[in-house]
Amino acid sequence: MQYFRSAIYFVSMVLTAVVFASLALLTFPFSFKTRYRFISQYARFNIWWLKLTCGLSYEVEGLENLPKESAIVFAKHASTWETYALQCFLPPQTWVLKRELLRIPFFGWGLALLKPVAIDRASGRKALKQLVELGKVCLDEGRWLIVFPEGTRMAPGTMRKFGFGGAMLAEKSGHPVVPIAHNAGHFWPRHGFLKKPGVIKVKIGPVIDSKVHKAAEINRMAEEWISQAMTEITGQPEEIVERKK
């Protein structure tokens, strides 16, 4: 039955992506806030539909930690779930992502309308420069920026050493960093089709002040907090995986 429910969810997710992306193109003349208000309904629908079809919901701890100013979110990356759910309880946002995603029909078109920080990962130092320059513009305009510092979705129980880009942006911009941990990978695995019923636990950590900490310290503090939070959520320590050279 869970396979059947997951299939219903998947088909609906794909069909509604086409519908929302097509309609989203009509919002091009409007402001970012207007575009975001409409396009983010796709994420809200998917989270609601996930609960209805697959019995998978979530609970959030630490909302009181969210700052009033625009911030950089360092989020655990383990599933597709967080790319939707963060839009449900955080302020208007966009993402740091690889430029290739914008070429995906429908899905990529919708992403482009939300002014993401799209970088060319293959360009090395140039990519870091792009991230800092475009990220500062995004934050100064009042948008929150979602960074997945692990760089890719990680299997439950593992955690990749954080990349340097998000922390460097934080140091250069002075905007605060908000670490977020969750166990979505246990219910909606990376590359996984089956969605398991249950309650995803999300923990929002205390703000890291980028005006008093350098990039290396910001990364260390965020990595340590998320690792500890994941241990508290799952009851098991995370295995730290080194980044490939």
Mean pLDDT across 235-243: 85
Residue 63 and residue 23 in contact, taking contact as beta carbons nearer than 8 Å? no
Tell me how far apart the alpha carbons of residues 78 and 169 are, in angstroms, rounded to a whole number.
23
Domain annotation for the chain: domains and CATH numbers: 2-241 (3.40.1130)
What single letter denotes the amino acid at residue 149?
A: P
**Is the entire prediction scored with pTM above 0.85?**
yes
**Cβ neighbours of residue 72 under 8 Å, at least 6 residues apart?**
135, 139, 144, 145, 147, 166, 169, 170, 173, 175, 176, 177, 178, 210
Secondary structure (3-state) at 189:
coil
Tokens of 164: 């340097």
Mean pLDDT across 210-217: 96
What is the tens place of the pLDDT at every residue in 66-97? 999 999 999 999 999 999 999 999 999 999 98
Mean pLDDT across 207-213: 96
